[in-house]
Amino acid sequence: MPETTDPEPLPLDTPRGTGTPPAEALPAPRVPGGAPDRLGTASAASTTDVLRAAESGTAFDGHHPPSADLVSDCVHCGFCLTTCPTYVLWGEEMDSPRGRIHLIGQGLSGEPLSDSMVGHFDNCLGCMACVTACPSGVRYDRLIEDTRAQVERRHQRGTRDRALRAAIFALFPYPKRLRLLRGPLRAYQSLGLQRLVERTGILQRLAPTLATLDSLAPRLRGVPRPPARVRARGERRAVVGMLTGCVQSAFFPDVNSATVRVLAAEGCEVLIPPSQGCCGALSMHNGRREEARRFARQLIDTFERTGMDYFVVNAAGCGSSLKEYGELLADDPEWAGKAAAFTAKVRDLSELLVELGPVARRHPLPMSVAYHDACHLGHAQGVRAQPRALLNGIPELEVRPIAEAEICCGSAGVWNVLNPEPAAELGDRKADAVLATGAELLVTANPGCLMQVAAAVRRRGGVIALAHTAHVLDASIRNLGPSSLLTCPDPPRR
């Protein structure tokens, strides 16, 4: 890992060295099709913009280009570097937040969208650790989202990459399609084929991407789907719409069941329309903005007439996108108001529970847990105190910190599928830090992190039980004791 205390700027034109061009040395960013506002939302797409940019060979067209103002906010101090997982792995300036911001500036200055430039953007996990670390408040999140949308619309990827991405986006944002995989996957696991395939390494040789998916697949358990409406226990304090999620509902239905029980115990009536679809997080985080807008409209439409007070989400990646619906649909006159109203109701489960305050009795859980901040909860939503407050509110539960908590575990949506080797390195690093806590249970709030860390712990030969925050609260409220959580849901396969 590079030195953590070196504030010296690194060069922007070579991979290593010293000295960053000062801001005034960078060419003034130029935006084809007109200057955007600070959120990069000034101009609507026009065929003329796109054609003009394509003909001139510049990286970005006038449809939501990354904001030149936001680029200029970066003072090249380098405080973000050591929290950036790709910089930590490779020590390459262009794979740091500062380097990527410089590349965006070059694109705004008229440089073409080269394969190399796109490669550095693609390497970004979107973990937003740099946003937390930046003392200047640079909105890298906005910059990379606008950049990715331009890349997806304007850059021609290689055949294999295109095919892999097409397969991913034809499957993952569709809960019904994912649920169809449950039967075959359960049979594959229960017949011992998964162990056999992993031991022989045959899948790794023949189809590395499938091998990655296989290594991530959690052990599936049969859990009935929640009913469309669950009444509050005791006095009703709120009506809550709930996102069941795509990966969450297909592979972690027990997290949804625990969430519903906890909400009901805390006096919430829970609305769970079975017709709900994807929230669009995966599409939004990967530059597929139109697809994300379509998913967002459908989800708002499903919930807006339910009369809910809050919309609760138990998956960090989904929550961060739901909180951006207002901006995602800001230039759609029909949907902008609805999206803003919807966003105002969105809460992570831990946020809502802290906001409401506990009424259900907590029973002791004499055990130690390590709490892992999912990047899209901690960095993207700033929700760190609430899950810890909830865990600390359980009698006899000891919460232990994890070293390098700010560094991503390497999951990052589908980044670990698209980049299996560096993702495994980051996963192993996280697994070592988790195992070093000596805790009996790892707790986090994102299905991607659960799968990624479980796979890494197995690779490292360690054993630790894993749970969502909802599982722990549910076990405490129902007085189930530590054994209900320590039955390792994902035992070693060897």
Map residues 428-467 to x or -, x wherever contact with ligand SF4 holds by CB under 6 A. ----------------------------------------
Residue closer to ligand SF4 by CB (options 73, 332) is 73
CA distances from 334 to 39, 337, 340 (A): 20, 7, 12
- 3-state DSSP assignment of residue 100: helix
Q: What is the per-residue binding string for ligand SF4 in 34-53, x denoting contact by CB under 6 A?
A: --------------------
Interface with ligand SF4 (CB under 6 A), residue from 32, 126, 280, 422: 126
Gap between the Cα atoms of 457 and 278, Å rounded:
29
The yes or no reply on residue 263 touching ligand SF4 (CB under 6 A) is no
How far is Cα 319 from Cα 340, in angstroms, rounded to an integer?
15
Q: Are 464 and 457 in contact (CB under 8 A)?
A: yes
Closest CA to 126 of 328, 404, 317: 317
Rounded to the nearest whole angstrom, what is the least distance from the CB of residue 259 to ligand SF4 in the complex? 27
Q: Is 127 in the site for ligand SF4 (CB under 6 A)?
A: yes
Tokens of 307: 């009369």
Nearest residue (CB) to ligand SF4, 97 versus 489: 97
For residue 310, what are the CA distances in angstroms to 201, 262, 273, 304, 359?
A: 47, 15, 14, 11, 18
Tokens 């859990």 label which residue? 223
Structure tokens at 366: 């004499």
- Per CB under 6 A, does 29 bind ligand SF4? no
Maximal C-alpha separation, the chain: 66
Stretch that binds ligand SF4, among 80-88, 185-193, 245-253, 276-284 (CB under 6 A): 80-88
Residue 458 has, within 13 A of its CA and on its CB side, a CA count of 24
Question: Contact between 74 and ligand SF4 (CB under 6 A)?
Answer: yes
With CB under 6 A as the contact rule, the residue among 63, 64, 76, 120 that binds ligand SF4 is 76
Q: Which residue, 23 or 463, has its beta carbon nearer to ligand SF4? A: 23
Closer to ligand SF4 at the Cβ: 86 or 283?
Answer: 86
Encoded tokens for 370: 């390590």
Tokens linked to 296: 């967002």
The DSSP secondary structure of 327-372, one letter per residue, reads HHTTT-TTTHHHHHHHHHHEEEHHHHHHHH---SPPPP--EEEEE-
String marking each residue 128-167 x if it binds ligand SF4 according to CB under 6 A: xxx--xx-x-x-x---------------------------
Q: Name the 3-class secondary structure at 394.
A: coil
Q: Please, which residue, 375 or 439, has the CB nearer to ligand SF4? A: 375
Strand 397-400 versus strand 441-444 pairing type: unpaired
Report in angstroms how near the CB of residue 27 gets to ligand SF4 at its nearest. 17
Nearer of residues 138 and 299 to ligand SF4, judged by Cβ: 138
Using the minimum distance from each CB to ligand SF4, give the nearer residue, 127 or 360: 127
Binding to ligand SF4 by residue 473, rule CB under 6 A?
no
Residue 204, helix vs strand vs coil: helix
Does the protein bind ligand SF4 through residue 418 (CB under 6 A)?
A: no
Q: Which among 55-63, 92-100, 217-225, 315-323 is the span making contact with ligand SF4, rule CB under 6 A?
A: 92-100
Q: Indicate whether 84 belongs to the interface with ligand SF4 (CB under 6 A).
A: yes
Give the integer Cα–Cα distance in Å for 317 and 315: 6
Check binding of 482 to ligand SF4 (CB under 6 A): no
Min separation Cβ 178 and ligand SF4, Å: 26
> Two tokens at 228?
């469309």
Q: Which of 67, 2, 9, 13 is nearest to 38 (CA)?
A: 67
The answer to whether 407 contacts ligand SF4 (rule: CB under 6 A) is no
- As to burial, measured by CB atoms within 10 angstroms (0-12 exposed, 13-18 middle, 19+ buried), residue 421 is exposed
Length of the chain: 494
**Does 321 engage in binding with ligand SF4 (CB under 6 A)?**
no
Looking at the Cβ atoms of 16 and 229, the one nearer to ligand SF4 is 16
For residue 398, what are its two tokens? 């000891």
User: CB of 380 within 8 A of CB of 320?
Assistant: yes
Q: For residue 480, state whether it binds ligand SF4 (rule: CB under 6 A).
A: no
Piece in contact with ligand SF4 (CB under 6 A), picked from 45-53, 71-79, 151-159, 215-223: 71-79
DSSP conformation class of 17: -
The least distance separating ligand SF4 from the CB of residue 345, rounded to whole angstroms, comes to 27
In angstroms, give the least distance from the CB of 12 to ligand SF4.
11
Query: Which of 84-92, 180-188, 247-255, 305-313 is the region at the interface with ligand SF4 (rule: CB under 6 A)?
Result: 84-92
SS3 315: coil
378 near ligand SF4, rule: CB under 6 A = no
What is d(CA 161, CA 100) in angstroms, rounded to the nearest whole number?
21
- Per CB under 6 A, the list member of 53, 124, 213, 475 interacting with ligand SF4 is 124
Among 58, 67, 82, 86, indicate the residue that binds ligand SF4 (CB under 6 A). Answer: 86
Residues within the interface to ligand SF4 (CB under 6 A): 74-80, 83-86, 97-98, 100-101, 124-130, 133-134, 136, 138, 140
